[in-house]
Every structure is written in C-alpha cells, then in structure tokens.
Amino acid sequence: MSDKQIKNLLVTGGCGFIGSNFIRYLLEESSFSGRIINVDKLTYAGNPESLSDIMAMHGSRCSFEKLDICDLPGLERVFSDYSVDGVAHFAAESHVDRSIASPGVFIDTNIRGTFNLLECARKAGDQFKLFHHVSTDEVYGTLGKSGYFTEATPYSPNSPYAASKAASDHLVRACHKTYGLPVTISNCSNNYGPFQFPEKLIPLMVLNAMEGKPLPVYGDGSNVRDWLYVRDHCIGIWTIMERGTPGRTYNIGGGCEMENLAIVGKICDIIDNAGKKAPGVSSSRDLITFVKDRPGHDFRYAIDCSRINQELGWRPQESLETGLEKSVLWYFDNMEWVRRIRTGDYLNWIETHYG
C-alpha cells in the first residue's frame, strides 16, 4: 500500500447497505490491516445485525459508535479517542422518494453531517491520510436515450437527495482546494445486493412478489438505471482509497443498463423459477402494476467508467444476470433479517449489545 496507509479508519454509515458490505469486504478480503471505527446513528436504514457475524470474527479490529454525524462534539471525541487518520464516508439519507416527502433531514445529514466530518478531518492535522466521500451519479441529473456521465459532466441534480449529495461533494472538493485536505470522491450508479433496505427497487420487488403484493412500477417503466453489484462498488472504493490521486473524482458504474420494467420482469422470472412465487399467483409478472410517476423522475443514468478503469484497473466482476440471481437468492435465505429490519425488532438487539 502507498504512503496513504491508514491505521484508524472511521467508516460512517457502516450499518447501512453499502457501508456494511464495505466493512465486510475490508475485513474479509482486502489488504487493509488497520482498525475500523463504525459510526452510525442507526436510522430506519441502519442495522448492526448486518455485521453481527463479522463482529464475531473480527470484533477486535472493529469498534462501533452509535452517533449522529450532525453531532460535532461527539465526532470530535471519536476522532480524538481513536486517533482517526482516515474516513470512508457512507452515512447519508439515501432514498429519493423520502427526500421528496421530507427533504429536511437530507440537508442535515448529507450536508451538515459531511461538513462536520470534514472539520474534524481538517483539525486532525498532518497525520490525517485520506477522506473518501461516497457519492452518487444522481448529482449529474438525467441523461436522454444516449450518452454517459463522465467526471466532467456538469452537476445538475434534480431531487432533494441528489442536490444534498451534490452540495456535499462540493464541500469535500473545496476542502481539498482550500485547505489541502487529502480527499477522493466516487460517484456511483445504482447498487444492489445483500443487506439493501427493502425500499429500493430491487429488494422491494423481490419481497412484494414473494408476498403476492402489487409490484409498483413508476410511470411506464421505461426509466433506465445502470446497475452495479455492491461488492464491485466496495472493491472500487477501496481501489480508489489505496491508489487514487488525492483531489480526484472517480465515476463507478456497472455497465449494466436496464429499463425498470425489464429488471422487474427478470426478478419475477427468478422468483418463479425458484418456486418462490406467492400462493395463488400463476406468474409473478401478473403482479406488475403501473403507478403514478415520481415527480422529477430522472429518465436515465449511465456511467462512463474509463477513468477508474484506465488509471486504477478497476472493472466490475459481476454481470447483471449473476448479481441479480445472487441478490434474489440472498433475500430468500435471509427473511428473518428482512422481518427484523422492517419491524425495527433489531432495536432490542442494540439495547442488549450497546446499552
């Protein structure tokens, strides 16, 4: 590893979907040999049970702090207690539909929270090695039927979520330019895979289909997303953290574009072929229901990954076929995790483990 070798890495949002997969990847597969401090507020989307097996195996290398990143004194204590010298920043309010209904918390967490972390990193001085900011391709707005987002695409966010992430990206970049803080930023396309909260398209459709509920497709289902298996995203982030150039942004995408209606159909087929369709349903596709479109719904996202591919050698390993099959099977096998995150039952587990 380079001169960026981090000893005490603060991972924010490590109990969420991508953050928990990242901690899993770091501890089980990567070259990282330091310690992880997982800071998470445990909103509805955060579940420490997603890491319970990892904590049992690698608990001596991973601490957990239940903390809101909007709590600056709390963050300052964590930076000092653990001599934090690196940050991988995942914590965010992440769901577009929620940002339309209640944008305020997106401003607090995604903008103020990111600012607080940058302040702590800046004050950590010369021993601080790297602040990696995990962001989204949604900052670029929407594409038409052709073209790709590159790192030079102008920002044009359309939802409160995308706007809050865009603001946080600008703060990170400004801290590099103004204070020389070593930062990297990644802007990634839609992720899917194990431990995704069942509000996002893929897990929502899997669970609704298994339960014989309607599969709500917004508009006519022709919107396109570029799907990336979460482990590939985690490898991309770690590759940037190890070998990326400070101050630089890297786009990460799956190279797997698909219309929403087509991906919902594929999910239905996997469920039916696995014998998991709901009782009384002859084909899960019959459950597809077209509903009112999302306001400001971006038509298409697609990522040009040339930079991370050519400069750092990263490319996704999983195809949409293999990744989707794995993900749907994961939900079949983890219905207890689903039940507990849906009902908030895991809060009892938190009481027992973290008091």
259 is catalytic: no
Q: Output the CA–CA distances (angstroms, integers) from residue 300 to 109, 157, 215, 219, 221, in the order listed.
A: 26, 13, 20, 13, 11
Query: Which CB sits closer to ligand TYD, 183 or 201?
Result: 201
The correct pick among 39, 124, 206, 217 for binding ligand TYD (CB under 6 A) is: 217
304 is catalytic: no
The correct pick among 37, 54, 84, 134 for binding ligand NAD (CB under 6 A) is: 134
Question: What, of ligand TYD, ligand NAD, none, does residue 155 touch, CB below 5 to 8 Å by kind?
Answer: none
The correct pick among 223, 249, 284, 327 for binding ligand TYD (CB under 6 A) is: 223
* Helix and strand numbers, DSSP H then E, in the chain: 14, 13
The count of residues interacting with ligand TYD (CB under 6 A) is: 12
Question: Coil, strand or helix: which one is 82?
Answer: helix
- Separation between Cα atoms, residue 335 and residue 187, nearest integer Å: 31
Our finding on whether 303 is near ligand NAD (CB under 6 A) is: no
Bridge partners of residue 249, in order along the sequence: 185
Our finding on whether 96 is near ligand TYD (CB under 6 A) is: yes
- Separation between Cα atoms, residue 259 and residue 226, nearest integer Å: 9
Our finding on whether 268 is near ligand TYD (CB under 6 A) is: no
- Separation between Cα atoms, residue 15 and residue 350, nearest integer Å: 12
Question: What, of ligand TYD, ligand NAD, none, does residue 84 touch, CB below 5 to 8 Å by kind?
Answer: none
Bridge partners of residue 66, in order along the sequence: 40
Q: Work out how close the CB of 121 gets to ligand NAD at its nearest, in angstroms, rounded to a whole number.
A: 16
Give the range of 38-46, 239-247, 265-273, 274-282 binding ligand NAD by CB under 6 A.
Answer: 38-46
Both tokens of residue 212? Answer: 């014989």
- Separation between Cα atoms, residue 320 and residue 245, nearest integer Å: 29
Q: Work out how close the CB of 314 gets to ligand TYD at its nearest, in angstroms, rounded to a whole number.
A: 22
Our finding on whether 109 is near ligand TYD (CB under 6 A) is: no
Radius of gyration of the chain (CA): 20
Give the range of 65-73, 74-82, 239-247, 299-307 binding ligand NAD by CB under 6 A.
Answer: 65-73
Both tokens of residue 71? Answer: 């709590």
151 is catalytic: no
Our finding on whether 301 is near ligand NAD (CB under 6 A) is: no
Q: In sequence order, what are the residues at sequence separation of 6 or more whose Cβ sits closer than 8 angstroms to the Cβ of residue 125?
A: none
Query: Which CB sits closer to ligand TYD, 192 or 314?
Result: 192
Query: Which CB sits closer to ligand TYD, 208 or 239?
Result: 208
Q: Is 159 left (phi over 0), alpha (psi -120 to 50) or beta?
A: beta
- Separation between Cα atoms, residue 116 and residue 72, nearest integer Å: 6
Residues assigned a catalytic role: 137-138, 161
For binding to ligand TYD (CB under 6 A), which residues are involved? 96, 190, 200-201, 204, 216-218, 223, 225, 260, 294
